[in-house]
Amino acid sequence: MGDPSRSRSQNKYKSQMPDVLQGRFKISLDQELGEGSFSKVYRGLDTQMCTNVAVKVYKDHTEASMAAFQKCVAVSRTLGSLRSTVGRSVSAGLEESEDDEAMAYRNSWNPTALMKDVSSLGIGDRRARSLLGNIDVRCCFVSLLEFSKCNGTPGVDTDSEQLFLVFEEGGESLGDKLKRYSQEGEVLSTTELRNLQWALVTIVYGLHSKGLVHLDIKPANIVRFKGENGKDQWKLIDLDGCMLTGTQAPLDDIACSMVYASPELASARLRLSHGGGDQSLELSRLMDVWSIGMTAMEAIFFTPILGPWYSEWLSETGSEYKFLKWLADTSTEAVISGDMCDALAAIDPDMCDLLRRMLEKDSSKRASITECLAHDWFKPIRKEILEIDEEPPDIPFGGDVEDESAGLECLHLPKTRPMPPPSDEAPTPPPPEAQKCSPEKKLGHSKSYEQAEHLRRNISSKACVVM
């Protein structure tokens, strides 16, 4: 049962919530877009701009809620996604009230180190500057339009006594799109896979270039927005949990979904479950690389690829221990191996190589985000970016890239497991009804797709369980 006092407090705030905040943002309380531990998100209308918005209203004014609110404002400012929709700059008001944490975020970007990494592509310093300049990381994150203020600084709104954030309204999340595609028997083409994976890489590049890590990137947190050029843009929407890379963070402060979590986090939680060891973890950029690798794999197989094992072992043992033990063990078979490796290579060998390097359990062997940007899989996109402007632009911008590559018609997780379980005991077989969840479509593009078709016919019905 929940805390009755907190429930009463939440009902009080909702009953007292006005229809319009700051005399501008009209809230539709009957159109709830989502709910988290600390807040609810409602559809709203910016009456000045006549555009729909998403209004995130915190359930209470506790220290935890206030910390999450302040973190989101500070991170949004750092990432450049805090913008004004009324003549003046929203961020200008923050300059005077900037706290130590926001200053640390701002000063953590090392452009000299980034230039050195990107110049290693062999394209020369000038073209490296052009490439980085044309990757507009500001459009990789949901835009924070406004927030509640107390005496002009972020805090509980003086008039409404509400704590809230106003964001641009997005469309379908990647998670919802993948579920819809799976139900309809649709798939992402090779072009769509490349563009999605580039979007994921640039999102993490944007975080890392500002010295931040996210640790909970997953399809539910990647949402499609309409860009200024009219094209769709994938953006990261959940910024509350961002932390500074290289810092020691208490494990209790790290919120994540374990099927997307890195082996480093699994190892730390495993030590904690043994009742000893450090209860904190040094945050590494490579942990985010793992998460977007898992997200990219889900876009191919339409299921969290570690989800079936996590669910079964959790049900079998009543704890995460067995899953954590396997994930933390770098000596076990690679996640991408065997039939799964063959299936990915049938789509594109370069894509297979990139994802394999992103999902190395040994972090010392895992690709950095700069190495991901430099990978041959993204060569068509880099070529397009560099041809846009041979000179470094004054104002960075971003854009979608298309190619004419054919896509895989239908591919799901192959029956052969990508890894052995941590014990000799085989998992229980799935129920017969689980076998009904895979779409039946035919392939016939080329010989490389015949192999993928053969694997598709041997789909593991367990892998159709979407967590």
Is 322 labelled as part of a ligand binding site? no
Comparing CA positions, the residue from 19, 81, 90, 94 lying closest to residue 55 is 19
Residue 213: predicted pLDDT: 92
**pTM attached to this predicted model:** 0.76
pLDDT at 171 over 50: yes
CA 221 to chain centre: 5
Tell me what pLDDT residue 399 has: 35
Confirm if 214 and 222 have CB atoms less than 8 A apart.
no
Mean pLDDT of 83-104: 36
Whole-angstrom distance, CA of residue 140 vs CA of residue 192: 17
pLDDT digits (tens, 9 = 90+) for 30-76: 899 888 888 999 999 999 999 999 999 999 999 989 999 999 999 99
Band of residue 463 on the pLDDT scale cut at 50, 70, 90: very low
CA distance from start to end of the chain: 24
**Residue 381 structure tokens:** 């996109």
Res 120: pLDDT: 63
CB 200 within 8 A of CB 292: yes
Can you read off the two tokens belonging to residue 377? 């899989």
pLDDT, average across residues 225-245: 86
For helices 100-107 and 63-79, give the axis angle rounded to 10 degrees.
Answer: 30
Q: Reply yes or no on whether the pLDDT at 361 is more than 50.
A: yes
Q: For 119-142, what is each residue's pLDDT tens digit?
A: 666 666 777 777 777 777 778 999
- Share of residues in the chain with pLDDT > 70 (%): 69
Query: What pLDDT is attached to residue 113?
Result: 55
Closest among 316, 317, 359, 354 to 336, alpha carbons compared: 359
Task: Quickly list DSSP for 124-161.
Answer: -HHHHHHHHHH--GGGGB--EEEE-EETTEESS-TTT-
User: How far apart are the C-alpha atoms of 173 and 467, rounded to whole Å?
Assistant: 15
Residues 275/340, Cβ–Cβ less than 8 Å: no
Q: What is the average pLDDT value for the chain, to the nearest integer?
A: 76
pLDDT for 437: 34
Q: Which domains does the chain have, with CATH numbers?
A: 22-110+142-169 (3.30.200.20), 171-392+401-467 (1.10.510.10)
The predicted structure's pLDDT at residue 116:
64
pLDDT at site 260? 95
